[in-house]
A = this chain, B = another copy of it.
Amino acid sequence: MALRTALEFLAGLRDAREVYYRGERVSSVVDHPELGVAARHAAIDFALAENPKYRELAVHREGAAEYSAYFRVPRDSKDLHSRMKLTEAGTAEGATLVLLIKEIGTDALFALKRVLARSGDARGLERVEAFYRHCRDRDLAMAVAQTDVKGDRSKRPCEQTDPDMYVRVVEKRADGIVVSGAKIHTSCTPYVDEVIVLPSRSMGPGDEPWSLAFAVPAATLGLRLYASDYLHGTDDPFTRPISTNHKMVETLTVFENVFVPWDRVFFVDRPDLAGATALTFVEFHRFTAVSYKLPLLDTLVGAGIAVAKANGIDRAGHVREKLTWLAGYAETVRGLAELAAIRCKLDQGIAYPDVFTTNLAKWTFARDFHRAVEIVQDLAGGLLVTGPSGKDWDAPSVRPTLDKYLPGAWPADRRMAVINLISDLTTRVYGGYQAVLAVHAEGSIEAEKMALFRAYDPSHALALAMRLAGIATATTAAK
């Protein structure tokens, strides 16, 4: 019932889980040359809790008991702010890459608690509570499998030619249910303990078999994880100072007749809960998102400042303008994220960040990220893609030439370190990963806009405009 160490976490991953990578079954993710990097990145979460510097933030004490602060159910603005700082700290330790093995899982559990409490489903709620205590007390790592593969986007689940395009119940038994189908873009699945499965959209009549939420251990019979190798390649810490040691892995998460015992089934056959669960989950998860984006944004700002100095151009007017824009962008996201916590609401005794403000922060982040990348690349210069390799750097026959010819206002080693940081962040695979996450993770930009539109309360603005136009508002106030 105590916090686990990073080593205990890693040891726990050596089980029968069925993981595939580059066409082959992986015997142990921890010991795999590439997946092991991701597992050790995730383990930073546990190291943090052991680190005196972060202990206050990362560990929650309740009487004699201690558990990871991610599991603390937020009751007010302060709790949400603390959760934000914890996510931010973990990501900063993760070198701009979120750890995400407790953040997203607790986002899902808080959402399930609210939805089931609201709906009055006492049995479902108790199952969620039990599972929550199970994870909390054993200090488990969790993935959330939400996005279905979807097939034909214009059709609902029950209208698809292949019923497996959304995960579904294929059989109900006395002791549990059997599910099939696949989820996509599931983060961290190969190196967590539990996989929580949520619906990815609202459902309607006829969609009953697809309207379910449940959890299974990662090592469950029939659960097959096909890991993307997108971030592979780890040989050059000189040019990839971040991504050589930090990695996240997404899977195509296939359920082939997976048995789920009833106490792990949070709801099933409930089209009425599907959309609510999806929306309530993102109310928490987008707040997690804007929290974990902050170290990335800070690093872009800091790297922009550093490379402007390294190149000797930091006093130019256009450079100051660009740095000002970068800082303004990053701090707008931070400010709005903090404000979302300050403006929190209560539902079923659980505090959640203000929906409009959270989405405003997320949308602000998403729509200008590529512009931020462009500016940092602009400040850094062509060496981002024409510079020397780590092997050049290490070669005694080459290095003096590089030391002689590559300085700017800073010596070559410091200048190249900053340039390579930026190259890793913006031009190589890790840069592409972050760019795509910016426009797609936790909902696309279009989904953000819809969420903003829905969450906006027009009554104040509309009433003011109608009054100034001299029109009585009674019949027109409805959105």
Contacts and interface: CB of A to CB of B under 8 A. Distances in A.
Interface of A: 20, 22-24, 92, 95-96, 147, 149-154, 162, 164-165, 182, 184-185, 224, 226, 228-233, 239, 241-242, 250, 252, 254, 295, 298-299, 301-303, 305-306, 309, 311-313, 316-318, 320-321, 323-324, 327-328, 330-332, 335-336, 338-339, 342, 356-357, 360, 363-364, 369-371, 373-374, 377-378, 381-389, 391-395, 397-398, 401-402, 404-410, 414, 417-418, 420-421, 423, 426-429, 431-433, 435-437, 439-441, 444-446, 449, 452-453, 456, 458, 460-466, 468-471, 476, 479
9 contacts: A20-B398, A231-B385, A242-B468, A252-B405, A305-B461, A377-B435, A381-B440, A426-B435, A427-B436
Copies in the complex: 4
A187 to B, nearest CB: 8
Nearest to A466: B306
A395 B388 CA distance: 35
A32 to B, nearest CB: 14
A147 B426 CA distance: 23
A258 to B, nearest CB: 14
Nearest to A359: B328
A-B complex: 4 closest residue pairs judged by Cβ atoms: A427-B432, A302-B465, A23-B395, A302-B461
Contacts of A440: 377-378, 381-382
A376 to B, nearest CB: 10
A408 B398 CA distance: 50
Given A22-B392, A306-B476, A335-B335, 9 more contacts: A152-B408, A153-B311, A250-B382, A298-B464, A305-B479, A309-B476, A332-B364, A423-B432, A427-B433
Contact of A471 (B364, B408, B418): B418
A354 B316 CA distance: 27
Contact of A377 (B164, B382, B417, B436): B436
